[in-house]
Structure 1
């Protein structure tokens, strides 16, 4: 197989990630121009988790039987439909919710099937972690650039509630051209037999290391991202004036950009810590949550940028190191399945901003973030204890 074949599914995975996160900088726009309440805007942000989790699990099972290409084509089509719905639905909370669910389905395909496809096509790479790093980097760049471009278009371009989605639709067409030439990595002899829904079972996810190491760590991956670029802009919004959308965009790009850099450092961190990169990431996560609480008390936009950088670095380290641990437990027949379970768990954390916004009448940002930091520290202790005895 061509050693560069892994590059061909990359544009589609990138575009699917773009379609999942380009909504994030628009939260302020939906509140200010659309008249949506903060809890409604944050609901829309987290709504795509309800498409993403089924998309992760069902798509992985489907692809284990029918191959990576077929499932990825479906994901690309669903993501394009999502952008069409979001472009048309500015005035309808229901339509926006449906669009976000469809966007989640597309991201689910990217994170489970796309990641597995890239990993399988990277089998000849010198580093055993190359596949995990390549897929995580592709996803992170899609998340970051999607948010960055959307924020700029919304701040200065025409049709701020529609143009970003039209751009994504154009990118879907470009990705489809590369996808036409991408080779299938799962040959028929290795595919799951029987009805695809029976392949939803992932025995590797029931192993003790998964339950005691991956499970406590995974939700913090996108909990960190959510705190950095959904909660922090709200904490300092009163200091931003007309630049709230641009500021939220910058925080998103900083979080994901720093995360992308630190993803590349995971092999080095694992090497110098003897396989404890996940502990390093969760330690940074806990520190970042404490800084977020301090930022909520002070309300300083500059400090919020520091929070985004710390949480972004921790996000990047935990994303890759957790995926490496999860995939090391998989058999060839349930690699996509355990990848889907892992990413499903990471995205549970993305509901955190919705929960915090819903609790605002009874619990301030400061109080919520103190509690979050304490829970994060507890999870760090659980992971550290079990990773030592693995």
Structure 2
């Protein structure tokens, strides 16, 4: 059977996601088996974000100018190279930092342009289909990578090397399949004359400010709580490495399994996916507090399922909203900003560690549950406006969640988002043009 073009890009994103998250269950290997200092292991984990966020913001104009395919080809090579550096470098701190930095660069170059590329290769697939098709392989890779790495490192020899060798072999299989995916940059869908409103207006519009931005960091805050924080607070004695990988796999598998339901949730309520994701997050943090308080590893299972569902639904809700707000030529840039906001959630482990002496983890999780629950009424606030003249004829099929594209923003859209990653993006993309929001 012939593979559909968008599936080729999806495979590439799956492989990059695998390589990005395979490091999570290996943190204990470096700390306990190789004697790498805790601070250095934490720095290596953070190096991923250092490479990812600037690349996300800078790669989009390059991919618009030179094409999606050259970028993704380079991504495939860099992702495999990151694992090669970690494989050859062993427990060298320089190799750890370099390998994780390369993994971040590969992810940053893949996620923004890759999301837009899948959407562009999905014409006529229905509203929101492109966003869901991009979220599924990303989530699958994020889950499969640490699951495989945890199993290989727990029960087979060479725990510092074999997981990386598995990723290199995977990329060797994926690269020929994704190498010649059809180019879309410069096509009529991405090279149309720019309407009046630009990317800056999309990021300032009420739908982005009040719905997308507040919930985006929770995407990875929920996920990392499950597989990066809880295994250290509620250890599973004897199989800690495998358990950490299994928790990561279960978390992301739950996020993957819930994503097909998101379309049905959106049909029943314009905010259904987002509200359901927030409710799952609040439940997950309550379960996390209970597991820590009782020191009961079995409670990590329902906690991972709830936090994974939160991750999956909020990721789809955010990407679908961004897809609805941005014009085709601005989708890669808007998606890059969204991913930057989601990766702010990777700070959750550091926040918990920094506050551990002042705020017990149980109290922290209960406060987090309360904050997530309050986001439901907070993000329900919406500002309405009249449709711009001719809008109905331009967009006969409204995008999901009741969003409409238009050529101007409301007065209330002139809120600024005080997030450093967005400020960087606005400076980088000030020349881009696109449609605005509701």
2:98 is matched with which residue? Answer: 98
Structure 2 unaligned segments of length 5 or more: list them.
Answer: 193-197, 386-437
1:84 is matched with which residue? Answer: 84
Rounded to whole Å, the distance in 2 between the matches of 1:36 and 1:368 is 28
Q: SS where residue 241 of structure 1 aligns?
A: coil
Contact 2:128 2:323 (C-alpha < 8 Å) held by counterparts: no
Contact 2:64 2:186 (C-alpha < 8 Å) held by counterparts: no
2:298 is matched with which residue? Answer: 302
Contact 2:206 2:382 (C-alpha < 8 Å) held by counterparts: no
Query: Which residue of 233, 244, 257 maps to 2:231?
Result: 233
Query: Which residue of 209, 216, 220 maps to 1:218?
Result: 216
- Residue 386 of structure 1: CA displacement? 3.3
Is 1:4 equivalent to 2:7 in the alignment? Answer: no
Is 1:385 equivalent to 2:381 in the alignment? Answer: yes
- Residue 284 of structure 1: CA displacement? 1.4
Residues 139-173 of structure 1: CA distance to partner in whole angstroms, max 9, x if unpaired? 11111111111111101122110111112112222
- Residue 37 of structure 1: CA displacement? 4.7
2:411 is matched with which residue? Answer: none
Contact 1:294 1:366 (C-alpha < 8 Å) held by counterparts: yes
Rounded to whole Å, the distance in 2 between the matches of 1:227 and 1:369 is 9
- Residue 245 of structure 1: CA displacement? 0.6
Query: Which residue of 243, 249, 253 maps to 1:253?
Result: 249
Contact 2:5 2:182 (C-alpha < 8 Å) held by counterparts: yes
Rounded to whole Å, the distance in 1 between the matches of 2:94 and 2:349 is 20
Is 1:267 equivalent to 2:263 in the alignment? Answer: yes
1:54 is matched with which residue? Answer: 54
- Residue 28 of structure 1: CA displacement? 1.7
Is 1:130 equivalent to 2:126 in the alignment? Answer: no
Rounded to whole Å, the distance in 2 between the matches of 1:93 and 1:376 is 37
- Residue 191 of structure 1: CA displacement? 5.8
- TM-score normalised by length of structure 2: 0.81
Contact 1:67 1:184 (C-alpha < 8 Å) held by counterparts: yes
Rounded to whole Å, the distance in 1 between the matches of 2:376 and 2:51 is 29
Rounded to whole Å, the distance in 1 between the matches of 2:271 and 2:372 is 20
2:155 is matched with which residue? Answer: 156
Larger displacement relative to structure 2 (13-22 or 81-90): 81-90
Is 1:184 equivalent to 2:180 in the alignment? Answer: no
Residues 320-374 of structure 1: CA distance to partner in whole angstroms, max 9, x if unpaired? 0111011111012211000111111111101211222233344332233233333
Go from structure 1 to structure 2 and tell me whether the alpha carbon gap of 1:40 and 1:364 turns closer, same or farther (over 3 Å shift).
farther
Q: SS where residue 9 of structure 1 aligns?
A: helix
Contact 1:3 1:122 (C-alpha < 8 Å) held by counterparts: no
Rounded to whole Å, the distance in 2 between the matches of 1:171 and 1:387 is 47
Residues 192-251 of structure 1: CA distance to partner in whole angstroms, max 9, x if unpaired? 79xxxxxx96542222211111000000000000001111111111xx222001111111
Go from structure 1 to structure 2 and tell me whether the alpha carbon gap of 1:313 and 1:388 turns closer, same or farther (over 3 Å shift).
farther
Go from structure 1 to structure 2 and tell me whether the alpha carbon gap of 1:85 and 1:355 turns closer, same or farther (over 3 Å shift).
farther
2:23 is matched with which residue? Answer: 23
Go from structure 1 to structure 2 and tell me whether the alpha carbon gap of 1:27 and 1:253 turns closer, same or farther (over 3 Å shift).
same
- Residue 68 of structure 1: CA displacement? 0.8
Rounded to whole Å, the distance in 2 between the matches of 1:241 and 1:284 is 28
Rounded to whole Å, the distance in 2 between the matches of 1:204 and 1:64 is 18
Contact 1:202 1:338 (C-alpha < 8 Å) held by counterparts: no
1:111 is matched with which residue? Answer: 111
Go from structure 1 to structure 2 and tell me whether the alpha carbon gap of 1:36 and 1:305 turns closer, same or farther (over 3 Å shift).
farther
Rounded to whole Å, the distance in 1 between the matches of 2:307 and 2:108 is 23
Residues 78-124 of structure 1: CA distance to partner in whole angstroms, max 9, x if unpaired? 21221122223332333312211211111122221111111110113
Contact 1:18 1:146 (C-alpha < 8 Å) held by counterparts: yes
Within a 5 Å distance, the mapping from 1:340-351 to structure 2 comes to: 340-351=336-347
2:432 is matched with which residue? Answer: none
Go from structure 1 to structure 2 and tell me whether the alpha carbon gap of 1:354 and 1:44 turns closer, same or farther (over 3 Å shift).
farther
Q: SS where residue 238 of structure 2 aligns?
A: helix
Rounded to whole Å, the distance in 1 between the matches of 2:377 and 2:199 is 29
2:145 is matched with which residue? Answer: 146
Q: SS where residue 265 of structure 1 aligns?
A: helix
Contact 2:199 2:326 (C-alpha < 8 Å) held by counterparts: no
Kindly report the root-mean-square deviation, in angstroms, between the aligned alpha carbons of the 2 structures: 2.3
Rounded to whole Å, the distance in 2 between the matches of 1:95 and 1:386 is 48
- TM-score normalised by length of structure 1: 0.91
Query: Which residue of 316, 326, 335 maps to 1:339?
Result: 335
Residues 291-317 of structure 1: CA distance to partner in whole angstroms, max 9, x if unpaired? 211222111111111110100111111
Go from structure 1 to structure 2 and tell me whether the alpha carbon gap of 1:189 and 1:277 turns closer, same or farther (over 3 Å shift).
closer
2:422 is matched with which residue? Answer: none
